[in-house]
Amino acid sequence: MSKKTAKDTPSEENPPADAAVAADGTGDSPAGGAAATAPETGATEDATSGNGAASGDAGAPAVESESASESASASASVTETPRAEQPAAPVLDKAENVLEVRDLVKHFPITQGIVLRRKVGAVQAVDGISLDLRRGETLGIVGESGCGKSTLAKLLIGLERPTSGSIKVRGQDLTELRGGDLLAARRNIQMVFQDPYTSLNPRMTVGDLIGEPFEIHTDVVPRQGRRQRVQELLELVGLNPDHINRYPHQFSGGQRQRIGIARALALEPEVLLCDEPVSALDVSIQAQVINLLEKLQDELGLSYLFIAHDLSVVRHIADKLGVMYLGRMVEYGNAEEIYEAPTHPYTQALLSAVPVPDPKLRGMRDEIVLEGDVPSPANPPSGCRFRTRCWKAEDVCAEETPLLQVRENSRHASACHFAQERDVVHGAA
C-alpha cells in the first residue's frame, strides 16, 4: 500500500473539472442496463445475474471457517501457468494515471405514457464527476446513500452507458471504443461486488465461476491451462485450490467474497472497483478481506476505487478520497489531509459522525448534525446542491455552482464558495 507515503494530490496540480456539466437530456440508458451491455463488458456482468440463494443441498459439506481455508492454501505451492501469446501492455510509470475520468454524467430518463413514452425529466445520478487513479493507488469514494457511488462504478465497468464524459483506461477512452477494442480495454478494469451471496451464480462451481471470464477473453489463458490458473487464483485469495469443484453455498460469506475477488482478478486487471466490498460481512471478517485487498495491491500493483459507507474503513485503506453529494464530487484530494482538515461543510458533517476510538478525544469532537433530507436527484437545488442543508449557505450558493478547486485557505480541492479547513475531531473551527 502506498497510503503512508502517498503525498501526491493530483487534484492540486490538476483538479478535476467542476461538476457543472449541462444535462444533455438524451436519456441514452440502454434498455435493461446491465443486460444490454453484458456482451461488451465481459464476464463481470454475469456475476450480477446470479440469484444468490444457496440451494442448501442435503449432505452438502459444512461451511468451513475462514482460518481453516487460509492455512490450507498457505501450505500449497504456486506454479506458473502457461499463458497464451498476448501483446505486452506498456508498463506504466508509478506517477501515471491508470484511470482518468472527466466530466462523467449519467442522467436516467423519467418517462410518462405507456405507448408513446415521453421524457418528462431525468434522475441526475452522476453529474460531472472527474477523478484520477494512479498505479498502486486507492481512491476512496464516500457519500450518503443515493449520491451516485454505485452508478459511478457501473459507468466505469460498462454496466451503464454514460450520458456524456470520458473514461480513459491507460489513455484509451472507453466511450469511443467499440467491439473487440472495447472488450480488450475493459479487461483492465474489473469489479468486486457488494454482496457475495447474490453476486455468485449458485448453480456454478467455484472453478466455473472464476474461470468464466476466460470463456470470453479466450486469449488470456489457453484452454488446457485454465484449471491450473483457477487454482492459482484460489490460492492467491487464501482459499484451498482443492475446493475448485465446490459450489458457492459451501463457503462462508468471507470466503465467497474471496471467490468474487479471484474472479475479478482472472483477467489480470490493473484497476479493481470495489463497491462496498465488506459491508455485507461480519466485522471480524471485514478486516480479513481488507487485509487481503491490501496484500493483493502490494503484490500485483493494483489500483482500487473503493466505495464504502464506513469512513473508518476508507481512512484505513485510501490514499485519496472523493466525497460525493447528489451526483457531484464536493471534496477531493489526499485522504489524510481531508480527514485531518475537511474544507467542505458536507465532509465536515460526515466526519464529525465517525466514532472516535480514543476515549480522551471523544468529548472534544465537534459534532455536526445535518438537518433535512437529501433532495431528489431528479430535482436538485440550483447552485450548490448542498445548500438546502448547509449552515453556511448565502445567496451566492443558490446562484452560482461552486467549482471543485483548491482554494486559498485549503490544501485540496473543494466545491464550496466558503471552503475553510476545520478540524472536526478537536473542534477547532
Residue 151 interacting with ligand ATP (CB under 6 A): yes
Helix (H) or strand (E) holding 190: strand 189-192
146 binds, among Mg ion, ligand ATP, ligand SF4, none (CB under 5 to 8 A by kind): ligand ATP
Cell of 242: 482443492
Binding mask 314-353 for ligand SF4 (x = CB under 6 A): ------------------------------xx--------
Tell me, by CB under 6 A, how many residues bind ligand SF4. Answer: 13
Among the listed residues 11, 124, 150, 348, the single contact to Mg ion using CB under 5 A: 150
224 binds, among ligand SF4, ligand ATP, Mg ion, none (CB under 5 to 8 A by kind): none
* Span near ligand ATP by CB under 6 A; candidates 42-50, 138-146, 283-291, 349-357: 138-146
Residue 123 interacting with ligand ATP (CB under 6 A): yes
Cα 275 from chain centre: 4
Residue pair 125/108 in contact (Cβ under 8 Å)? The answer is yes
202 binds, among ligand SF4, Mg ion, ligand ATP, none (CB under 5 to 8 A by kind): none
Q: Which is nearer to ligand SF4, 193 or 418 (CB)?
A: 418
- Gap between the Cα atoms of 277 and 273, Å rounded: 9
* Three-state SS at 288: helix
Residue 373 interacting with ligand ATP (CB under 6 A): no
C-alpha atoms less than 13 angstroms from C-alpha of 351 in its C-beta half-sphere: 28
Helix (H) or strand (E) holding 127: strand 118-134
416 binds, among ligand SF4, ligand ATP, Mg ion, none (CB under 5 to 8 A by kind): ligand SF4
Rg (CA), the chain: 22
Task: Give one DSSP letter per residue of 160-187, joined into a string.
Answer: S--SEEEEEETTEETTT--HHHHHHHHT
CB of 429: closest distance to ligand SF4 in angstroms?
A: 14
Residue 149 interacting with ligand ATP (CB under 6 A): yes
Residue 147 interacting with ligand ATP (CB under 6 A): yes
Residues 230-259 touching ligand ATP, rule: CB under 6 A, are: none
**Which residues are CB-neighbours of 230 under 8 A, at least 6 positions away?**
206, 207, 210, 211, 244, 262, 266
Residues 370-389 touching ligand SF4, rule: CB under 6 A, are: 384, 386-387
DSSP alpha helices (H): ranges in 158-282?
A: 179-186, 206-216, 226-236, 253-265
Q: What share of the chain is helix, strand, coil (3-state, %, to 5)?
A: 35, 20, 50
List residues binding ligand SF4 (CB under 6 A). 344-345, 384, 386-387, 390, 392-393, 397, 402, 416-418
The residues that touch ligand ATP, with contacts defined as CB under 6 A, are 33, 108, 123, 125, 143, 145-151, 377
| Interface residues toward Mg ion, by CB under 5 A | 150
